[in-house]
Amino acid sequence: MIKKNFLMLLFFSTLFIGCLPNPTNFDGKFSPKEVADKNLNWAIEAADRGYFEEARGYLEFIKKEYPYELEIQEKVQIVYGDILMIQENYIDAIEVYQTFVKRYPESIFISEAHFKTAECYYLEIPSDFFILPPPYERDKDSILQARDALMFFIGNFPQSTQIEKAKKMHKQVIDFLAEFEYYVGNFYYKQEKFQGAAWRFETLISLYPNSSFEEDALLKIVLSYSNLNSIEKVNHFGKIYLSRFLTSPNTESVKKAMKL
């Protein structure tokens, strides 16, 4: 009997490759958990292949027929969000994941919901963010939301299998934000508004340490204060620069400003 049931499951799985089977309870031949889990896998496969209505059909079937399979019911809610995410409907997907977090705070899928919330915020960042108009004129709300969600995930789920991916996204988000500040500071610097430039670059290195723009920001802080004849500031930031970027070709400019 076990072998026969296994062959039936294998048949339906193979059938899926050519067409989409209807949601089924296998005529009661399997446990409710097995049936719900199989229909859930079909929903995920259908969504991955772009059959979104069919995927939702499997999920609705599971919700209706297997309400007491609680773990699978929780996963169903995650997959609803996944479908929206695949469709690039990130705002609605975020709402689904955030609702899940509120409703199932002790779920085994809680880290997944938090990660996917963060990932949706990250994907919501416009791909042309740094093309037009100039970065200092743009709304950076989506980037700030991505930063906060990724920081929360990294801080609260360090053992997650998605932690390295989250850290990589977070680093890119920090570079986005640092570049935003850099463009503003550079705008002031080119206009020879050195105090405004220095303040902006100081904000950059304070809020976004280790960004890709840190070295140039520190250099321009030193040069800005040099133009303002603020020797104390020149020496302070010059020492920071030399302690971190001693091998840079710009060290001579910094030493000259410090009169070393």
- With cut-offs at 50, 70 and 90, classify the pLDDT of residue 133: very low
Least confidently predicted of 18-22, 27-31, 196-200, 256-260: 18-22
The model carries a pTM of 0.78
Which of 3.30.70.600, 1.20.120.10, 1.10.3720.10, 1.25.40.10 would CATH assign to domain 88-190?
A: 1.25.40.10
Those residues whose C-beta lies under 8 Å from the C-beta of residue 81, and which sit 6 or more positions away, are 93, 96, 97, 100, 113, 116
Question: What local confidence, expressed as pLDDT, does residue 210 receive?
Answer: 85
Return the structure tokens found at 66: 């297997």
Q: Residues 82-105: what's their mean pLDDT?
A: 97
Phi-psi region of 28 (alpha: psi -120 to 50; beta: other; left: phi over 0): left
